Structure 1
Amino acid sequence: MDGYEHTLDNARPVPWRLTAALVTAATLALAGVAALLVVPASRPGAVLSAVRAAGLPVALPIAVPVDLAAPFAATPAAAWPDGVDGLRLPAATPVGDFSAAEVAAAAEQVRQLTAALNVDREVIEQRRFDRFLGLLSPSAREIAEPSVLARTENFPPYLAVVADGYRLLPAGPKTDGTMSVGPGTSRAELSVRVDLRVAYAFDPAGAKVFDPAELIVLRTFQLDFVVRRSPPFKATTAGIHVVGGQAFLEGAACRYARVNLIAPLFADRSQDACTT
């Protein structure tokens, strides 16, 4: 499962936020201050930093109401399907030695693995990794097991794992993406690529949230798989292998993302230290 690149991308524009967050003059007037602050909404922690730098009272009421029953309402993910239903599969046609029906079956197997790796709550929250390991070929499973079992962090980046102490809201996750299927290096092998965006909504559990978007983490990735048939491949290598890809996180807590865990922004407000 080599060739996987994981990038925390808090530096580029975050689509879940307005381009600026305003602490309005009316709000500041409540604190006896005639001023207007404009701070980057892509870094909600900067709101408090700007308030302190301006010498304003830190108790300034700048929290924004959040609808926990509809956390995606103000985001592009509002219209995305739940679970892996947002992953659109290609029309099945014969490829190499695979019939159209066999291509469709292989695409469905990869869809199920993609779901297990990214949206199956028993996997990503409860860490029941057997639910995705069982979908890999025997040889791929043998390689993957040491990188996930008995670990608490630094999971392989193709796997989404929620950080301990945080949980998802009942809504979602939501997905939007496509799958393509083509020939592999032999007629008995398929090459499958998944391009997917996954939006996760986190339960604040009493934490103060200054922007509804602080609840949302967006994982954007491209994953490459190969599907091999037996014969001619041995039974131990027949099935699905994850062979590479790249991923980006937006709106994630940096200190968790650096050890390949997913947590929302309110879990770590030290965003000034997030440079990787």
Structure 2
Amino acid sequence: AVASTIAKTVSEVQQKIAKSTTPDSHEAKSPSTSQSTPTDTYTQPRKATEEALDMYKRVLMLAWADGAVSPEEQSQLIDLRRNLGITTEQHNKLEQQVKEESYAHAFTLVWTSGMSAKERTAVINELRQKYQISPEAHSRIESSILKEFGEKQDKPLIYVIDDEEETLDMIVRIMEGSGFVVRAFATSDEALIALKKETPDLIVADINLETSTIGGFSFYEKVRQMPQLNLVPFIFLSGLTDEGMIRYGKGLGADDYITKPFSSDMLIDTIKGKLKRYRQMKKN
């Protein structure tokens, strides 16, 4: 259906161009026309008008609606660009806009769908791949959408980093159930990218991040090197057998530790206590 729509648009554009370039009867009879040379009939390449750019963007929205452009649609888009006088640079710019707008729309639908945190994260990651969204663009789009929802106005924002999916999902559910806004990350690498764009009210990270290129302690040190995050409370998660690692982390200056397994009450009480202290420090 999309391919046929694009083909129809290409045909309509070609007909419109043909009508605009066909000389009328008076011009056909004029001596200058009959004596024209190849040099006389040369025309400069068409330049895309604002109307053409708007039309092309609307067609791109159709093509990217399902998160992919088929070879047939790609071929038709090339024909349309040629007829509208759209340059490769203009196409690339419009296509990036379309992919980000389409991703933002899909992200909003997922966020309001009622999915669990684990399901939501999986679907959003899949959408990022489909629409070819960079981590930086994802962070910008996510922040913009959640800000529009007004979730950050009155609720603390918590970053959670843990490579164990079940633990991550459980923590997110507990925190969201207690009224916090939560960003969940399976790796510290993703969290660091997001932290460059946004400042949370508290960070919870596992010490052992085996799927990350940056371990828990190194992640903590990188966080503390960012001026805007220097005072943000940082809580480590640790297994019961990690006593030596806990002692090492205390020397780094982490705000607190929660050992696994933990109760939801312990987690929330610890977070609330650190947030209260953080707010007092910000006022002073």
Q: TM-score, normalised by structure 2?
A: 0.22
Q: TM-score, normalised by structure 1?
A: 0.22
Compare the two structures and name the one with the higher helix fraction: 2
Compare the two structures and name the one with the higher strand fraction: 1
Larger radius of gyration: 2
**Higher RCO (CA 8 Å, separation ≥ 6 residues):** 1
